[in-house]
Structure 1
């Protein structure tokens, strides 16, 4: 079976790696010329995503991943703050959590190695069609000869050309939030902020839809596997990978055209104007200016019936191409890896003569709809909470209730110390 994968992101590379390892004839095409030239900063892989990855790549690659990843079980409990930096509460104990965080670049490089010379970089796909024999084929912007396939898989992300072809239109829409992200070394923060933020992830919220997430990544001190000789992480010390959020508006949308230090300064000014305490903005103000970027949150429908709205056939899609998920879920990449493993299992049944390609794709898409609905529901829950504070009532309720929650948190802390 000849499988052509459009898109060399996490899902596309994971699928390509699994297909190559199982002996399929596979080709992965991506417009990037360098696998390290990728957006995003870190990816969370829960136990299910890691299990799926073990189906797709060699055991040695999994070991290198874990040696380059930061273990959630070694972090403190997540924290929640208000815009003044006052503690509102904590998340659950992570001591038994099997999840890991890994740099997106690190994971993409590991997967690309597994795909090997079946990965074709610098190739931009212009469309999908069918040959005279009805078989699907992939077309390219450079006018090169179309590549025929027994199965075409779109792993080309939120703006997927393949999914648009199948659905006859977009498969997702703006979620109402503009996000901004960056990287800040923990050592660049003041002692007070290092203590407050701690070795954990956290979320601070304020009125009018402003929120600031700080993710803690330390693949050296908090390595999931103590094997320094296998480590290849991009992050080499305790780092906060942060994400700022504001409701989409002409003002925030305009910031998407701003870059580096200018964007960094604009974010600090915007938070400051909304009454955020100065110390809570250190993580933005002291970030690497070249790491600061803006992007729009997009989301597919949360109901499974709204995902992959096309009849099963010899063209399909996976990951964000189908279930584009806001980063608030922290599960988008993991879901794409699970998609890839599921598709590989079903295609294995075709190779064994147990079913047809169309039936295998139908079964795959049924499971993908359920996975996509799960992660979208989680991601949109946080999005809706943030957007609820951007109404007159929501802003007033936030301003009133958060100080009460902070006072209650202080009281609980004092009682535990007594």
Structure 2
């Protein structure tokens, strides 16, 4: 029987990665997720060495292999590429993150697929439809009050419950998310073999940013899995629920940190058809290949998002409650790093808790060491992501090269 019992509020990528790492080490944990199931929350997710290495550390071998086989095919160039509205390449920059594998690099995944992989094998530890409300802690442990009226007790509570974290509010009531002013509209556009053959090759590089003279910006990313997801899941995780996914292009449209033509209330209340009309209006006059992506958008896939951040904090006193992912370093998608850092958080914390379980490290020292490491690797990227000087033309981006 495990010496430790870890409570995890939030069943997103970081929380599930942590739970997988703990299970791998034989450490008891329970995950409480307010949503009733693994919902569709976003589409294509850029992966780098931070996230990929965390998955390798925490997942059993067969699930890590499933992640690799269901990742997108190797791009022609593993770079972020800026083009103009006519498809002319303007600048490139390397992706953020440590060196990548040369044969099967970490590329991109379908977000829902990755969450389903992370849920595999720990279904009995994840309680859906149960929200963390508040906690109490003392020298003996931590008590977590839940929305179903129950009480969970453990040695450490991990707030992995996102930017609106109830755990963070209890731990740091003075910390509130800040609005960046960025408004984004996400959507999927189909990518059949016929459509793919008609598109310029630059659209199949790592990740594409297209912009025009009005300030309209479209992030465009292909998702074509290395192997059909249903086939890979049937072989590697036959007892798991892994939904099939057809290839697609993800589109994320914004005006940088400026407002969209619709107000916030209009964005929230707009139908998919109205949001689609806005996207078409903003990209009128774009090159036919780019314009076609917008024309073919699957209207039910469209959803708007207001981008908020948490500003970096100075060191705080470690306790029996800690935070990971968006609950402590929510950031704009500028560098595609947020989810990767949440996974890294999960692996970093799991590694320290393994040492606590083995009697090599006191619990509070482990929490303090994790938090210090997290601030060191996450906060510089957070600060860059909200710095307006890192413009969408990549001319001031890290490693940027104008062409």
TM interval, short-chain normalised:
0.7 to 0.9
Provide the C-alpha distance between the structure 1 equivalents of 2:375 and 2:179, rounded to a whole number of angstroms: 20
Provide the C-alpha distance between the structure 2 equivalents of 1:383 and 1:3, rounded to a whole number of angstroms: 41
Provide the C-alpha distance between the structure 2 equivalents of 1:176 and 1:157, rounded to a whole number of angstroms: 19
Shift of 1:228: 8.8
Q: Deviations over 1:122-161 (max 9, x none)?
A: 1122222247x7632111223x222111100000111111
Q: Any stretches of 5+ residues in structure 2 without a counterpart?
A: 395-401
SS in 1 for 2:386: helix
SS in 2 for 1:114: coil
Aligned CA distance change for structure 1 residues 276 and 164 (closer, same or farther; 3 Å): farther
Identify which of 180, 183, 192 aligns with 1:187: 192
For the pair 1:244 / 2:253, whether they are aligned, the reply is yes
For the pair 1:373 / 2:379, whether they are aligned, the reply is yes
Q: How does 1:174-213 map to 2 (within 5 A)?
A: 174-187=179-192, 194-195=199-200, 198-200=203-205, 201-213=207-219
Report the counterpart of residue 280 of structure 2 in structure 1: 268
Q: CA RMSD in A?
A: 3.2
Higher relative contact order (CA closer than 8 Å, sequence separation 6+): 2
Range 100-109 or range 349-358, more displaced: 349-358
Identify which of 280, 288, 294 aligns with 2:298: 288
Shift of 1:211: 0.3
Provide the C-alpha distance between the structure 2 equivalents of 1:318 and 1:271, rounded to a whole number of angstroms: 37
Larger helix proportion, structure 1 or 2? 1
Report the counterpart of residue 33 of structure 1 in structure 2: 36
Provide the C-alpha distance between the structure 2 equivalents of 1:235 and 1:383, rounded to a whole number of angstroms: 37
Provide the C-alpha distance between the structure 2 equivalents of 1:82 and 1:226, rounded to a whole number of angstroms: 37
**Contact 1:54–1:62 (CA<8 Å) still a contact in 2?**
yes
Q: Deviations over 1:356-415 (max 9, x none)?
A: 211110000001112211332443357852599xxxxxxxxxxxxxxxx8xxx6xxxxxx
Provide the C-alpha distance between the structure 1 equivalents of 2:146 and 2:113, rounded to a whole number of angstroms: 28
SS in 2 for 1:26: strand
Provide the C-alpha distance between the structure 2 equivalents of 1:241 and 1:219, rounded to a whole number of angstroms: 14
SS in 2 for 1:307: coil
Provide the C-alpha distance between the structure 2 equivalents of 1:91 and 1:135, rounded to a whole number of angstroms: 47
Aligned CA distance change for structure 1 residues 164 and 276 (closer, same or farther; 3 Å): farther
SS in 1 for 2:54: helix
Q: Any stretches of 5+ residues in structure 1 without a counterpart?
A: 389-404, 410-418
SS in 2 for 1:179: strand
Shift of 1:355: 2.4
**Contact 1:186–1:194 (CA<8 Å) still a contact in 2?**
no
Aligned CA distance change for structure 1 residues 330 and 189 (closer, same or farther; 3 Å): farther
Count of residue correspondences? 380
Report the counterpart of residue 18 of structure 1 in structure 2: 21
Range 338-347 or range 68-77, more displaced: 68-77
Q: How does 1:11-410 map to 2 (within 5 A)?
A: 11-35=14-38, 37-74=39-76, 78-91=80-93, 96=102, 98-130=105-137, 135-142=141-148, 144-187=149-192, 194-195=199-200, 198-200=203-205, 201-220=207-226, 229-230=235-236, 234-237=244-247, 239-246=248-255, 247-248=258-259, 251-253=262-264, 254-272=266-284, 276=286, 280-301=290-311, 306-307=312-313, 310-381=316-387, 384-386=390-392
Provide the C-alpha distance between the structure 1 equivalents of 2:132 and 2:189, rounded to a whole number of angstroms: 36
SS in 2 for 1:316: strand
Provide the C-alpha distance between the structure 1 equivalents of 2:68 and 2:179, rounded to a whole number of angstroms: 34
Provide the C-alpha distance between the structure 2 equivalents of 1:164 and 1:126, rounded to a whole number of angstroms: 10
